[in-house]
Amino acid sequence: MRDVESLRKGEIALRDLSKSFQIGGRSLRVLRNVNLDIRSGECLAIVGASGSGKTTLLRILAGLEAADAGKVLIDNEPITGVGNERAVIFQEPRLLPWQTVLENVAFGLEVRGGHACHAKERARHYISLVGLGDFADAYPKQLSGGMAQRVGIARALTVQPEILLLDEPFGALDAMTKLTMQEELERIWRDENVTMVLVTHDLEEAVYLADRVLVLPKNKDSNAKIIEIDLARPRDRSEVGFVQYRKDLLREFGLH
């Protein structure tokens, strides 16, 4: 099935992915035979109870951890580790405290061999895109939590990845900041035309941002479930359809 669609970049395929951890001499299975196709340019949210392996799955996609069995294909190429087509946004901003906002944002591109001047120039563009234009010369300790996380997002965008992997990116932020950041992230995702994989424990966030939601089961013998979110964007959190999807997801966890 090689059509035009598969020529687009940022396509991910997971084939029979399994992963166990050794804890206290016991083998703990976190992922069992996961098969999944993530379309180019889509936003896929991964939700699941703690211990369901959602963060592990993201770390395997990032190349920070290796799977025990199975493979990950990106644009039909198996991955062997971290790669230039991917960038990760962590729960913590993970900024270098001795560098200014501008230096931090340019860091990723400079490490990847970008020319320093060029990297700074592009970094400035993304700093203003996340609304921190006036803070380019500030140090991380001078920023609030939400601002610091924006810097982390700008750093990931500056390398212009095909795939953006987000590990509970707004989990540490207060409720108001979180809503603003979700709106901004959606705008950025549409403008940058990037494939997004978002791990979250916030079901509303999943419904707001995702095209599809992958629900990882806590019980490894049952299969992961995919829920398609068929709502027009930008989404209205109070609309009936939105609330219904949220209910459906809650029911997946036995909640009402």
Partner 1 sequence: MSLQDVDRSILANRGPGGVKAEEYLQRASVRLRHWLSRYGLLAAFLVFWQAASSSGWVNPAVFPPIDAILSALWRGFFGGALLDDIAISLQRSGLAFVAAVVVAIPLGLFMGQVRPIEQALDPILQLFRQTSALALYPVFILLLGLGEASKVFVIFWATLFPLLLNTISGVKEVDSKLIEMARVYGASRPTVFRCVVLPGAIPSIFVGLRLSATTALLLLIASEMIGANKGVGFQVMNAQYNFQIPLMFAAIFILAGLGLIANYALVFAQRRLCRWSDVSI
User: How far apart are CB 96 and partner 1 at their closest, in Å?
Assistant: 6
If one asks whether residue 116 binds partner 1 (CB under 8 A), the answer comes out as: no
Q: Select 197 or 224, whichever has its Cβ closest to partner 1.
A: 197
User: How far apart are CB 94 and partner 1 at their closest, in Å?
Assistant: 4
- DSSP label at residue 135: G
If one asks whether residue 135 binds partner 1 (CB under 8 A), the answer comes out as: no
- DSSP label at residue 199: E
Contact mark string toward partner 1, 19..38, x via CB under 8 A: --------------------
Phi, psi dihedral angles at 170 (to 5 degrees): -110, 15
Length of the chain: 256
Task: Return the closest-CA partner of residue 195 out of 59, 75, 98.
Answer: 75
User: How far apart are CB 45 and partner 1 at their closest, in Å?
Assistant: 20
**Binders of partner 1: how many residues, by CB under 8 A?**
24
User: How far apart are CB 185 and partner 1 at their closest, in Å?
Assistant: 18
Contact residue for partner 1 among 35, 84, 128, 144 (CB under 8 A): 84
Report CA dihedral (40, 129, 165, 23) to the nearest 10 degrees.
-170
CA distance 218 to 229: 22
Q: Select 74 or 203, whichever has its Cβ closest to partner 1.
A: 74
Contact residue for partner 1 among 32, 38, 43, 90 (CB under 8 A): 90
Task: Return the closest-CA partner of residue 172 out of 144, 142, 208.
Answer: 144
Q: Exposure string (b/e) for 182-193, b if CB count within 10 Å is 16 or more? A: beebbebbeebe
User: How far apart are CB 59 and partner 1 at their closest, in Å?
Assistant: 9
If one asks whether residue 66 binds partner 1 (CB under 8 A), the answer comes out as: no
User: How far apart are CB 221 and partner 1 at their closest, in Å?
Assistant: 32
CA distance 228 to 207: 9
- Characterize the bridge pairing of strands 12-23 and 69-74: antiparallel
If one asks whether residue 159 binds partner 1 (CB under 8 A), the answer comes out as: yes
If one asks whether residue 128 binds partner 1 (CB under 8 A), the answer comes out as: no
In the region spanning residues 190 to 219, those forming contacts with partner 1, defined by CB under 8 A, are none
Q: Select 156 or 227, whichever has its Cβ closest to partner 1.
A: 156
CA distance 76 to 88: 20
Which positions touch partner 1 (CB under 8 A)? Answer: 62-64, 82-84, 86-88, 90, 92, 94, 96-99, 107-108, 111-112, 139-141, 159
